[in-house]
Amino acid sequence: MERKIPLIIDCHGHYTTAPRALEEWRNRQIASLKDPAVAPKAAELRISDDELRESIETNQLAKMRERGSDLTIFSPRASFMAHHIGDFQTSSTWSAICNELCYRVSGLFPDNFIGAAMLPQSPGVDPTTCIPELEKCVREYGFVAINLNPDPSGGHWKEPPLTDRWWYPIYEKMVEYDIPAMIHVSTSCNACFHTTGAHYINADTTAVMQLIQGDLFKDFPTLRFVIPHGGGAAPYHWGRYRGLAQELKKPLLKDHLLNNIFFDTCVYHQPGIDLLTKVIPVRNVLFASEMIGAVRGIDPETGHYYDDTKRYIEAAALTAEERYQIYEGNARRVYPRLDAALKARGK
């Protein structure tokens, strides 16, 4: 079926432009780890609806209108998650605050934003502790996904691989609520790994290899993961991963992984998008921009913003039906709660 005017759904948006008061509150929380006397209460953070509107209307929403996207799956700023800071209580309070702000944004701009939850992860802490925040975000806030950090230690990789049973409590809830997880690390506190240039891409690649090595999807055949930033190195080295899967006596990757993992389009240059859509089946590619995120500048070779990813999809050798799948169809399938919300709105 040809779809000439698809709904442009961006699956990778972060609240990178939150009012300054949020960062100031976070700085006080971090300072209180050394001096509990200065610990701020959550109620002390006061951000008005007008401040939220201004932070969105002049930033994300303005870019969406300029570039022609319709709806963003919106989560807290990834580098702000910083799960390695403090303990579980630190992360619990911080994630609740950040998720509530995304919920408020989605309430102020219901046609343009819908939430994805940050989890209150903490190094070495049982993932079961994340369940109450996950449930609240899905049940009360109407969020359609979660972000899952495979390395809460911030670049030191102290947690078990994603295929380990340690993570199963979160997966069980994902299956129960029929929501996907974007596998997304946060700030690197390891000087060897630049946060957005190395740690993010390393994590995407590592996640793919962990999933190849394990048999997670035998236990959770409907589990769905979105690997951001174009899948890290995986599409570029797809032949390597196919060969490694073969040596490990795993099924072919198209059978072993591609029913359950999906790649976004945050690649930021035309050859990268061309390769991604040639190597990875279009049914496994989701439109995303990570707009006003890690790469905000203008490409001197094109004169356009690096993160204006719709330009790359439009220029790629794709049919109208393939563009529909990348822009809208795949998102509705991977995010069933989003699809339900859109249908409820007559879209």
Residues recognised as catalytic: 290
How far apart (Å, rounded) are the C-alpha atoms in residues 41 and 82?
19
Mark 27-52 as b/e (b = at least 16 C-beta within 10 Å). Answer: eebeeeeeeeeeebeeeebebeeeeb
Q: Which residues pair with 225 in a beta bridge?
A: 181, 261
The angle at the Cα of 157, spanning 161 to 149, to the nearest 5 degrees, equals 70
CB 25 within 8 A of CB 90: no
Measuring CA to CA, how many Å separate 51 from each of 22, 29, 101, 292? 11, 22, 11, 18
Measuring CA to CA, how many Å separate 318 from each of 75, 108, 278, 314, 315? 29, 35, 10, 8, 8
Q: Write the single-letter amino acid at 11.
A: C
